[in-house]
Amino acid sequence: MKTRYFVKRHRLLMLVTLVVALAVVLAACATPPATQAPAASEAGAAEEAPAEESMAEEAAVGGELEIFSWWTSGGEVEALNALYEIYGEKYPDVEIVNAALAGGAGQGGNMKALLETRMMGGEPPDSFQVHLGRELIDSHVIADRMEPLDWLYEEEGLYDVFPQDLIEIASFEGKPYSVPVNIHRSNVLWYRPSKLAEVGVEEPPKTWDEFFEVAEKLKEAGIPALAVAENEPNFSGHVFENVLNATMDPEAYRGLFDGSVGWDDERVTQALEILNQAYDYANPDYLSTSWGDINDRFVADDAPAMMIMGDWTHGVLMSKGFTDYLWAPAPGTEGKFIVLSDSFGLPKNAPHRENIVNFLRVVGSREGQDAFNPIKGSIPARTDPDLDVYDEYLLWSMDDFKSNELVPSIQHGAAAKQSFILDYAIAINNLATNRDVAQAQQMLVQAAEDAGFGQ
Ligand code: GAL
């Protein structure tokens, strides 16, 4: 029933988008868009919108709570459900509408497109999954579509339990705009020890040179070394941020986003060459394989031996009851933690404001984070978790998070704005398809120019 509700609404919204798009073109800037007539100004929603808030509260009695995400895989679904369960126990009269939508270019491309439509049309969902960092700030906060959450942080004591750096990443002009539910690590090499053992390899490769040595042995034995799913621009963008962090030190990598290091840098060329070579050792059908398929492939008997992917993979593999895998930092990235964080915020004009505020309380709570993260494969954003509920991988990740150098993920919204993520993912997809390093690098240079890095 919930799904049907979503699909109907989706179609309607596509129409609404067209109308809105036309209206925007015709009206130019004559009238402010619907989202610009918010319930509250940046100065503080809680204090400034009492009338609208109480209306929203009334409407919320027995009402809905609609949450957008792209979490549809094993582990993702169960983790979100764990949050919903806690919420459901506390607020049994609220109907949760789980509006999850997978696929699309870039991370969560389809969901983000629909979200944009809804936001532009003045019909935001109550909340949505959003990456902490540029994705949150540039796409939604600067566009003046979100309420600040400083008052909620104060009420829930979140200023004391989230690391200061994380609060800063969630903040714009001194106020946080979303509640992080986790910390994911991008640079993990997942490997099948039994596959490596088939070619006499006991330890996973620590560098790309070692990777190609192992890959050659695997190739001779008819085993793809690297699992890749590039039927749309997405997966390879993830792998590439890992390779970039092998050829660049953190300072240079960060410089790619503030204009101090150009995307024509030779270390970018080197990273593209490495990825280009790695495709020779990937599952040969990688251009027609989807992200969902690759997880099934990785647990199959004839699986590729290794996969470079974020630690939601741990959640996916656990949800399949699969155990023949281990992990290590992606080649060349030991001592670095490519970080990203999923969060939820409060859109201006959220239809069920009280319901979503209560959901955000659950998201930020110790109980919520300790229920969600052990299933999702991520570590909690809070610094006071119950360590007993976290497994060996997650305890390893927690240690690395504390001691490693943290660098922001590109593909997952931490380092750069959404328009760049898309252009970036398309450039790397072009490499996967055309195998032309110079062309892909030119596309990256163009993407950086279009994004205005350093201006
Ligand atoms: C990331 C997201 C993770 C995970 C992953 C794969 O962008 O932050 O939570 O869902 O995509 O879908």
Q: Which of 184, 291, 308 to mutate to test the pocket of ligand 1 (most atoms within 8 A of CB)?
A: 184
Q: What is the pLDDT of residues 222-257, one digit of tens each?
A: 999 999 999 999 999 999 999 999 999 999 999 999
The Cα 170–Cα 176 span in angstroms is 5
Q: Measured from the CB, is residue 342 less than 6 Å from ligand 1?
A: yes
* Ligand 1 atom with least separation from CA of 312: 4
The Cα 216–Cα 220 span in angstroms is 6
* Ligand 1 atom with least separation from CA of 182: 9
The backbone torsions φ and ψ at residue 89, rounded to the nearest 5 degrees and listed phi first, read -65, -35
Q: 106 falls in which pLDDT band (50, 70, 90)?
A: confident
Q: Which of 67, 68, 69, 71 to mutate to test the pocket of ligand 1 (most atoms within 8 A of CB)?
A: 71
Mean of the per-residue pLDDT values of the chain:
89
Q: Report how far ligand 1's centroid is from the alpha carbon of 172 (Å).
A: 23
Q: Report how far ligand 1's centroid is from the alpha carbon of 12 (Å).
A: 27
Q: Measured from the CB, is residue 375 less than 6 Å from ligand 1?
A: no
Q: What is the residue with the minimal CA distance to atom 12 of ligand 1?
A: 71
* Ligand 1 atom with least separation from CA of 73: 12
Q: Please compute the mean of the pLDDT values over residues 259-277 and round it to a whole number.
A: 98
CA distances to 48, 210, 257, 264 from 420, in Å: 35, 32, 10, 16
Q: What is the pLDDT of residues 29-41, one digit of tens each?
A: 333 223 222 333 3
Question: Starting at the edge strand that comes first in sequence, how are the strands of the sheet with 188-191 ordered?
Answer: 306-308, 188-191, 326-329
The predicted pLDDT at position 307 comes to 98
Q: Which of 110, 342, 372 to mutate to test the pocket of ligand 1 (most atoms within 8 A of CB)?
A: 342
* Ligand 1 atom with least separation from CA of 341: 8
Q: Measured from the CB, is residue 107 less than 6 Å from ligand 1?
A: yes
The predicted pLDDT at position 357 comes to 98
Q: Measured from the CB, is residue 235 less than 6 Å from ligand 1?
A: no
Nearest to 73 by CA among 242, 310, 239: 310
Q: Measured from the CB, is residue 340 less than 6 Å from ligand 1?
A: yes
The predicted pLDDT at position 60 comes to 45
Q: Please compute the mean of the pLDDT values over residues 386-410 and round it to a whole number.
A: 98
Q: Please compute the mean of the pLDDT values over residues 382-390 and round it to a whole number.
A: 98
Q: Report how far ligand 1's centroid is from the alpha carbon of 62 (Å).
A: 31
The predicted pLDDT at position 61 comes to 55
Strands 326-329 and 188-191 turn out to be antiparallel
Q: Report how far ligand 1's centroid is from the alpha carbon of 141 (Å).
A: 21
Q: Measured from the CB, is residue 370 less than 6 Å from ligand 1?
A: no
Q: Which residue has the tokens 């279009």?
A: 450
Q: What is the pLDDT of residues 43-78, one digit of tens each?
A: 333 333 433 444 444 444 569 999 999 999 999 999
Q: What is the residue with the minimal CA distance to atom 4 of ligand 1?
A: 312
DSSP 318-386: HHTT----EEEEPTT-TTEEEEE-EEEE-BTT-TTHHHHHHHHHHHHSHHHHHHHHHHHT-B-SSS---
Measured CA angle at 308 (ends 303, 314), to 5 deg: 80
Q: What is the residue with the minimal CA distance to atom 1 of ligand 1?
A: 412
Q: What is the pLDDT of residues 175-202, one digit of tens each?
A: 999 999 999 999 999 999 999 999 999 9
The predicted pLDDT at position 292 comes to 86
* Ligand 1 atom with least separation from CA of 411: 7
Q: Report how far ligand 1's centroid is from the alpha carbon of 312 (Å).
A: 7
Kindly report the pTM of this predicted structure. 0.87
Q: Measured from the CB, is residue 184 less than 6 Å from ligand 1?
A: yes
Q: Which of 69, 76, 235 to mutate to test the pocket of ligand 1 (most atoms within 8 A of CB)?
A: 76
The predicted pLDDT at position 38 comes to 30
The predicted pLDDT at position 412 comes to 97
Calculate what percentage of the chain has a pLDDT beyond 70.
Answer: 86
Cβ-contact 411, 107 below 8 angstroms: yes
Q: Measured from the CB, is residue 312 less than 6 Å from ligand 1?
A: yes
Calculate what percentage of the chain has a pLDDT beyond 90.
Answer: 85
CA distances to 45, 69, 140, 359, 360 from 177, in Å: 11, 17, 9, 15, 11
Q: Measured from the CB, is residue 71 less than 6 Å from ligand 1?
A: yes
CA distances to 94, 138, 162, 310, 359 from 154, in Å: 25, 24, 12, 32, 16
